Chain A
């Protein structure tokens, strides 16, 4: 299988990249890890006229903490995130999700920026961003804007990125208090799409008696990653506990829009969402209690 012919450019800095994107319009596509884009090009579902390879642009793979945010460069590989001590300390949801993405070979090349820009509803990072209140930083030749995760994922394979914008990094707020989080994923085998994935994020007050912030998002049960807003809202201000979590799990399950397919019936997937949300909240609360 071969992609249609394309022009290839490999800029070596961000400004050069932005210039190419500004000139090229809709026919230009950014190549990051290529682990979704290249398969799509081989199937000719994508046939960009020009491919801008950003792998030679230095600085886009940073992982660090500044201004109250964990910042992860768009070009950070899934495996680099999985192995990062900074991520392990700063964001438990992200640290839990990284080793579940695809398979070890894909994780060596695939990037967080490419994954969120691809906006695949089966993508794991989308749910992590929605649960943790993440933001995407998009740059053009004329400036930069920050897009909240909730506005970024528009529809099936559709993000809020404009053709001339380069996603340079994602940011998640640092924990303000004792916090916990996790990512639970059911897959038939390594490398398969998720049957169901659930991202959970919890922050408690300093006394650990009350939930200050809650994030829950669902993977592979709708046309895009779904933020379970009602479930999140009912948790805030409450004392963590099994009954509360069971109720939140029921609300999250009703926010899911699963479809019956080879991976299971809609009913089954909805039940898995409820189980994962309940289990994830219990794990996150336990972790926050120890933090």
Chain B
């Protein structure tokens, strides 16, 4: 079946079998390998992408379901060639160790901050509760999300 999506602002299409999972569609058919595949059993969340702005596990969605819809992957976070506030904060706060869960964590953080620009630590921890970091680097991940929220607010106040 022909599947057309707008991915990171660009329209792309490919011919796929209905059983092709969105995670593989993005990685193999569209060549965007920033989206990782971990458990492949709907448990770990590392394959998270934003589907029409909402974080979902792309190993548990068929590519055909995304036809005509918009997808954001980690490659789409930067704007005008610069790291986004969330990406910068993950770098500055060392919100990663091995980096495998990082694309998903940054997408979930981006989605959280859009809905809730000033989340409490508790709200951040619940928001990332579907995403596993097997390095157990949660402390710095939470710090990074807090730093991104602070930066966004400072920038907002200056404008």
Q: Which residues of A contact B (CB under 8 A)?
A: 1-8, 10, 31, 34-35, 38-39, 41-42, 51, 53, 55, 102-106, 108-109, 190-191
Contact of B99 with A by CB under 8 A? no
Q: Is B62 in contact with A8, judged by CB distance below 8 angstroms?
A: yes
A-side contacts of B48, CB under 8 Å: 105
Contacts beyond the supplied A4-B19, A35-B60, A39-B60: 7 A-B pairs with Cβ under 8 Å:
A5-B19, A10-B65, A38-B62, A104-B129, A105-B56, A109-B61, A190-B129
Give 13 A-B contacts (CB < 8 Å), ordered by A residue.
Answer: A34-B60, A34-B65, A38-B60, A41-B19, A51-B18, A55-B65, A104-B108, A105-B130, A105-B131, A106-B130, A108-B55, A108-B56, A109-B56
Q: Is B40 in contact with A42, judged by CB distance below 8 angstroms?
A: yes
A-side contacts of B19, CB under 8 Å: 2-6, 41
Shortest distance from the beta carbon of B51 to any chain A beta carbon, whole Å: 8
Check A35/B65 contact, CB under 8 A, given A103-B129, A104-B55, A106-B57: no
Q: Is A108 in contact with B54, judged by CB distance below 8 angstroms?
A: yes
Q: Is A104 in contact with B130, judged by CB distance below 8 angstroms?
A: yes
Check A104/B127 contact, CB under 8 A, given A1-B40, A39-B42, A42-B40: yes
Cα distance A10–B55 in the bound complex, in angstroms: 22
A-side contacts of B75, CB under 8 Å: none
Contact of B64 with A by CB under 8 A? yes
- What 0/1 readout, one digit per residue, does chain B (58-90) give for beta carbons within 8 Å of chain A? 001110110000000000000000000000000
Cα distance A31–B61 in the bound complex, in angstroms: 10
Q: Is B18 in contact with A6, judged by CB distance below 8 angstroms?
A: yes
Shortest distance from the beta carbon of B134 to any chain A beta carbon, whole Å: 13
Shortest distance from the beta carbon of A84 to any chain B beta carbon, whole Å: 15
- Of chain B, the residue at the smallest CB distance from A4 is B19
A-side contacts of B153, CB under 8 Å: none
Q: How many residues does chain B have at the interface if contact means C-beta atoms less than 8 Å apart?
A: 26
Check A103/B45 contact, CB under 8 A, given A1-B40, A191-B130: yes
Report the number of A-B residue pairs with Cβ-Cβ less than 8 Å: 73
Contact of B98 with A by CB under 8 A? no
Cα distance A230–B1 in the bound complex, in angstroms: 54
Cα distance A58–B1 in the bound complex, in angstroms: 23
B-side contacts of A106, CB under 8 Å: 42, 57, 60, 130
Q: Is A35 in contact with B126, judged by CB distance below 8 angstroms?
A: no
Shortest distance from the beta carbon of A64 to any chain B beta carbon, whole Å: 22
- Of chain B, the residue at the smallest CB distance from A38 is B60
Contact of B43 with A by CB under 8 A? yes
Cα distance A104–B61 in the bound complex, in angstroms: 15
Shortest distance from the beta carbon of B148 to any chain A beta carbon, whole Å: 18
Cα distance A39–B57 in the bound complex, in angstroms: 11
Check A105/B17 contact, CB under 8 A, given A10-B64, A191-B130: no
Cα distance A149–B29 in the bound complex, in angstroms: 44
Cα distance A38–B57 in the bound complex, in angstroms: 11
Cα distance A31–B18 in the bound complex, in angstroms: 13
- What 0/1 readout, one digit per residue, does chain B (1-31) give for beta carbons within 8 Å of chain A? 1000000000000000111010000000000
Q: Is B64 in contact with A105, judged by CB distance below 8 angstroms?
A: no
Shortest distance from the beta carbon of B106 to any chain A beta carbon, whole Å: 14
Q: Is A105 in contact with B43, judged by CB distance below 8 angstroms?
A: no
Cα distance A108–B111 in the bound complex, in angstroms: 12
- Of chain B, the residue at the smallest CB distance from A108 is B54
Shortest distance from the beta carbon of B47 to any chain A beta carbon, whole Å: 10
B-side contacts of A42, CB under 8 Å: 40-41
- Of chain B, the residue at the smallest CB distance from A39 is B42
Cα distance A135–B55 in the bound complex, in angstroms: 31
Q: Is B45 in contact with A8, judged by CB distance below 8 angstroms?
A: no
Which of A10, A34, A104, A109 has the most chain B CB atoms inside 10 A of its CB?
A104
Q: Is B42 in contact with A5, judged by CB distance below 8 angstroms?
A: no
B-side contacts of A55, CB under 8 Å: 65
Q: Is B127 in contact with A5, judged by CB distance below 8 angstroms?
A: no
